[in-house]
Amino acid sequence: MRSFVAQQVKQMPPSGIRRYFDIAATMEDVISLGIGEPSFETPPHILQKGVDSLVAGRTGYTSNAGLIELRQAVSCYIERLYGISYHPAKEILITVGVSEALWLALKAILDPGDEVLVVQPCFVANTAAVEMAGGIPVIVDAYVETEFQVTGAQLESKITPRTKAILISYPNNPTGAILTPQHMSEVAAVAAKHDLVVISDEIYERLVYGVKHQSFSSLPGMRERTILLSGMSKSFAMTGWRIGYAAAPEPIMEAMTKLHQYLIMSAPTMGQYAAIEALYNGDPDVAYMRGEYDQRRRLIVDGFNSLGLTCFEPRGAFYAFPSITVTGMSDEQFCDALLMEEHVAVVPGSAFGKSGTGFVRASYTNSYENIEEALERLARFMTRHG
């Protein structure tokens, strides 16, 4: 019998971070700094609204684009945070996480062979999503020298007549980098000059430390060419509810909604009810979790630096991204050895792109005590390998 799997899928590499979770799951007393997921449970008042919706019998599909009450809540939320106005019925779509929104955004704008500038290091799905949408990912490497912020010149050097879009994600997974206003305006200038769409994945928007997040679409002239993506997963500890959203000008939104309607029908109903509560009344929860993450962030960044693993200050998300080159190991060797010898799981930076080579991603969503213990184990490891 012939192989039925499509060539495009066969050639797609598996996610480079899964392996570490799979190994870690087979070991006892592992401290995982591997997973990119909040350690908090969904705040009770948000959870209750989801439960209430089930008990009230709201177990059917919603409108394709999502409950209008939720789209109104998203519209108010974006306006409240950034002063940008999106029409709830025409410019907002509720999706199955940012994961779905990202695929829809790309599929909605790409003709076969269109190029997308993908800034790396980045979320592992980004290049695969461009390819599956028929586009060509053109990698733009951001480096530690600019704290992993992309520059206008780096983008400019990759422009061709086929360039259609720029895909950015700040605060960033895996580096924890944010984009300063200066760098944001450089990206905006390139987008305007070459008439590009900017897909801005801002899923970590509420998790910033000592800085204020500015949404890319709030920049002058950018609202009309930006597809803004965000969702409930990270800020509200709601990864399993699978609710994200996209906001974009009407013609793009119409295309995304058409695709979503055929692909998904509607995002989970229970999650949509919970999301309404989160967006209107979840600010104190976000503030609490951000405060907790911030303490863990300081602990882990100081810990890495004091062990000689140089780590720039991550100002967003919940990841630290120290350099491990001092050990003489590759980032993969480092992760393998640390997991086997000390039962601490981190993931290799190269899994997120070439410019992540020589770094590891350590998520600081684990408890303060566990991070302390992980640092003690790491100190032992460094006496052998430092």
Ligand X SMILES: Cc1ncc(COP(=O)(O)O)c(C=O)c1O
Query: What are the residues binding ligand X (CB under 6 A)?
Result: 36, 97-99, 123, 169, 173, 201, 203, 231, 233, 239, 244
Evaluate the CA torsion angle 125, 126, 132, 133 in order and state its sign.
positive
Shortest reach from residue 43's CB to ligand X, in Å = 17
Least spacing, CB of residue 203 vs ligand X, in Å: 4
What is the residue-wise DSSP string for 176-218? Answer: -----HHHHHHHHHHHHHTT-EEEEE-TTTT-BSSS----GGG
Q: How far is the CB of 174 from ligand X (least distance, A)?
A: 8
User: Which lies closer to ligand X via its Cβ, residue 233 or residue 327?
Assistant: 233
Strand locations in 72-192 (E): 92-95, 115-120, 136-141, 163-168
Minimum separation from the CB atom of position 119 to ligand X (A) = 11
User: How long a stretch of residues is the chain?
Assistant: 386
- To the nearest whole angstrom, how small is the minimum distance from the Cβ of residue 123 to ligand X? 4
Q: Where does residue 199 fall: left (phi above 0), alpha (psi -120 to 50 degrees), or beta otherwise?
A: beta
Q: Is 113 exposed, middle or buried (0-12, 13-18, 19+ CB in 10 A)?
A: exposed
Residue 214 or 233: the one with the smaller Cβ distance to ligand X is: 233
Which CB sits closer to ligand X, 97 or 303? 97
Edge-to-edge strand ranges of the sheet holding 360-363: 319-320, 360-363, 347-348
C-alpha 344/C-alpha 370 separation (Å) is 10
Q: Which residue, 36 or 176, has its beta carbon nearer to ligand X?
A: 36
Judged by beta carbon, residue 123 or residue 273, the one nearer ligand X is 123
Structure tokens at 227: 């597809």
Nearer to ligand X, 94 or 382 (CB): 94
Q: How far, CA to CA in Å, does 260 sit from each of 77, 92, 180, 253?
A: 22, 12, 33, 10
Write down the least CB distance from residue 102 to ligand X, Å.
Answer: 7
Residue 384 C-beta: closest distance to ligand X, Å: 32
Nearer to ligand X, 175 or 257 (CB): 175
Which residue's C-beta sits nearest to ligand X? 97
Q: Which is nearer to ligand X, 202 or 292 (CB)?
A: 202
CB of 353: closest distance to ligand X in angstroms?
Answer: 13
Taking the complex as a whole, how short is the minimal distance between the CB of residue 291 and ligand X, in angstroms? 21
How many CB atoms neighbour CB 308 within 10 A?
13
Nearer to ligand X, 98 or 109 (CB): 98
Beta bridge partners of residue 362, listed in sequence order:
320
Alpha carbons 328 and 207: distance in angstroms, whole number: 33
Paired residues of 231 in beta bridges: 244
Helices (H) and strands (E) in the chain, counts: 13, 12
Q: Which residue has the tokens 């591997």?
A: 34
